[in-house]
Chain A
């Protein structure tokens, strides 16, 4: 019994191990440039339609990236830096709605929808399992036997 499942178990171990290693928070500092880029990609460039500060080439975007780098070196936290820009430009400068207030809906609703959908499928599968398989009744069997005898 175990032999049949062994290859799958080994596979599962390999895969889970790899994923865990990949997801493990790594030591070692992020460079200032990478850190700046990370924060900048969450902020909207003011002069553009929907580009992030990280992607935009306007001088205001470059000034913002320089400003973020300065703040990182001063030791300000990510949340503090984001708050500086929210204070200046309003919530709409964040490309990802924050989790408090109305913004939480945009994160929660899709997850809820997927869970409801998955739940619906599981319920339907259960219902189908519980339905008895169609079995011919004795009357049907007799009819078939009659026809066979005739031909």
Chain B
């Protein structure tokens, strides 16, 4: 073969160009924007038992038949603090509605820190600890905050990874209520 080095150089060049194009494409994308939608969407909500602030267990069965908003959170993550006001105002609007229930499950935090946060920030909706981090695992949570909307039939219809706004919550719940 005449001038094999030339051909090798050109082949390497083509491969490197291809790699460069790929890298250029990914530079603009956000590496953390993994599919924002949880894989749980469309499936049945996993059964769970969590521990309320008073120490009494709260089971998933006790919440059955209602549209459920489950929010995984903790006291130290910044986006959790960002969505706190949104959750408070949304809960104030909807807590009278018997067909809707909201539950905040703690993820990766100590009991002492949560208790003092609940007291200082006046958290009004039910909050529960997750012994053994089992519920977080069964839901397939990828971090916090992560919010799920579950229809009355127990099917998870929507999820959001990251802080929610009242508009997003309304949308998720409307979607959950639409499926009967």
A residues near B, CB below 8 A?
A: 46-47, 58-60, 62-64, 66-67, 87-90, 92
Contact A46 B143 (CB under 8 A): yes
- With A62-B133, A63-B134 already in contact, the answer to whether A89 and B108 are too (CB < 8 A) is no
Residues from chain B with a CB closer than 8 A to the CB of A66 are 132
Q: Report if B40 contacts A (CB, 8 A).
A: yes
Known: A46-B143, A60-B136, A63-B137. 16 other contacts (CB 8 A): A46-B141, A47-B108, A58-B108, A59-B133, A60-B107, A60-B108, A60-B133, A60-B137, A63-B134, A64-B137, A66-B132, A67-B134, A67-B137, A89-B39, A89-B140, A89-B142
CA distance A62 to B136 in the complex (A): 12
A-B contact count (CB 8 A): 37
Q: Report if B35 contacts A (CB, 8 A).
A: yes
For chain B, the count of residues having a C-beta within 8 Å of the partner chain is: 15
CA distance A90 to B132 in the complex (A): 23
Nearest residue, chain B, Cβ from A63: B133
Nearest residue, chain B, Cβ from A59: B133
A–B Cβ pairs within 8 angstroms, 21 of them:
A46-B141, A46-B142, A46-B143, A47-B143, A58-B108, A59-B107, A59-B108, A59-B133, A60-B107, A60-B136, A60-B137, A62-B133, A63-B132, A63-B137, A64-B137, A66-B132, A67-B137, A87-B39, A89-B39, A89-B140, A90-B34
Nearest residue, chain A, Cβ from B136: A60
Q: How far is the CB of B137 from chain A (nearest CB, A)?
A: 5
